[in-house]
């Protein structure tokens, strides 16, 4: 599903070069639920941004669902992002002026679906996260947990192959966080690959495996679900 080989990301200013990722290797198989952990500044966010085609990498190779993304122009990267990826952020990132229906509608508009198809997908997605009755509500009228559910519905509406979640429970209390995690597990069980950055070790152990990053490199790999690993799903390259 996602394979990065010898990937590096260097931020350059006129004075300093910062290596956010170096020799980074990871291979995530279709259907996996992988958590990414690591201390602040380890490169987790850079990895997620590159995985989500929101940032370019400096060198190496990145294959997303069979597509080598190196050299793709902005339009092609945007199309790939829209068709293959779904995003869930710590801060929910809903558009405050749009109601839930219109928020979930945003990625579907860029996909070019007709009105009927969009309506069906939006209703299904909101129903899946238990918010079908609140379509006309605005984000500010919802709790944090509900907002994150809307964000999940928005990510799901386009039927992405890979869901990228950046600390999706970071802004939620324990009860809400549990609810969101259960929802993600359901989504994964239905076949969607999930890559989740988290600081929470309790969440990490609930996934198939955990990739730990330090200094821009994969330092440790913890396998939680032998069946998937045995099937050759996870082959993250530990270089440390």
Partner 1 sequence: MFAYYFKLGLRNLRRNPALTALMVLILAVGVAASVSTLAILHVMSGDPIPGKSDRLFVPFIDNGQPDGYVLGAEPVDMQMAYPDAMNLLRKHPAERATAMFGTGMSIEPPRSDIPAFQAYGLAPTRAFFAMFDVPFLHGQPWTADDEARGANVVILNRTVAEKLFGDANPVGQRLIMNREPFTVVGVLGDWNPMPRYYKLIGSGPATGEEFMIPMATAVRKELTPYGSVNCSQVRDPGYASLLASECTWIQFWFETRSAFERAELQSFLENYAGEQRKLGRLKRNAPIELYDVMAWMEVRKVVGNDTKLSAWLAFGFLILCLVNTVGLLLAKFSARAPEVGIRRALGASRREIFQQFLIETGVIGLAGGLLGLLLAFGALALIGMQSRSMAAMARMDWEMLGLTFAISLCAALVAGLLPTWRACQVTPAIQLKSQ
**Which residues would be at the binding site for partner 1 (CB under 8 A)?**
45, 49, 52, 54-55, 74-75, 78-79, 81-83, 87, 89, 91-95, 97, 106-107, 109-111, 154, 158, 166
As to burial, measured by CB atoms within 10 angstroms (0-12 exposed, 13-18 middle, 19+ buried), residue 212 is: buried
Q: Residue-wise over 64-101: b if at least 16 C-beta within 10 A, else e? A: bbeeebeebeeeebebbbbebbbbbbbebebeeeebbb
The distance of closest approach from Cβ of residue 4 to partner 1 in the complex, given in angstroms and rounded to an integer, is 17
Closer to partner 1 by Cβ: residue 17 or 97: 97
Task: Please say which residue, 65 or 83, places its beta carbon nearer to partner 1.
Answer: 83
Minimum distance of partner 1 from residue 92's CB (angstroms): 8
Q: Is the dihedral of CA 61, 67, 72, 76 positive or negative?
A: negative
- Asked if residue 67 lies in contact with residue 85, where contact means CB atoms within 8 angstroms, the answer is no
Nearer to partner 1, 139 or 234 (CB): 139
CB of 93 to partner 1, least distance (A): 5
Nearest to partner 1 of 23, 170 (CB atom): 170
CB of 77 to partner 1, least distance (A): 8
Closest CB 158 distance from partner 1, rounded Å: 8
């Amino acid at each position: 599903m996602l394979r990065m080989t010898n990937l590096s990301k260097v931020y350059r200013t006129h004075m300093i070069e910062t290596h956010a990722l170096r020799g980074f290797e990871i291979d995530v198989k279709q259907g996996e639920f992988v958590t990414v952990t690591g201390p602040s500044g380890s490169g987790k966010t850079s990895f997620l941004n590159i995985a989500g085609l929101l940032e370019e990498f400096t060198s190496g190779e990145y294959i997303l669902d069979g597509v080598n993304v190196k050299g793709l122009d902005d339009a092609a990267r945007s199309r790939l992002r829209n068709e293959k990826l779904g995003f869930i952020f710590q801060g929910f990132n809903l558009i405050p002026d749009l109601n839930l229906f219109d928020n979930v509608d945003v990625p579907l508009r860029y996909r070019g679906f007709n009105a009927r198809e969009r309506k069906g997908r939006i209703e299904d997605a909101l129903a899946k996260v238990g918010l079908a009755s609140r379509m006309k509500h605005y984000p500010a009228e919802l709790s944090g947990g509900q907002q994150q559910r809307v964000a999940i519905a928005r990510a799901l509406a386009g039927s992405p192959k890979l869901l990228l979640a950046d600390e999706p429970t970071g802004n939620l209390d324990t009860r809400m966080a549990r609810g969101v995690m259960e929802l993600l597990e359901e989504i994964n069980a239905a076949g969607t690959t999930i890559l989740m950055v988290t600081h929470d070790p309790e969440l990490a152990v609930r996934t198939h495996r955990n990739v730990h990053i330090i200094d821009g490199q994969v330092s440790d790999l913890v396998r939680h679900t032998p069946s998937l690993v045995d099937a050759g799903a996870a082959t993250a390259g530990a270089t440390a």
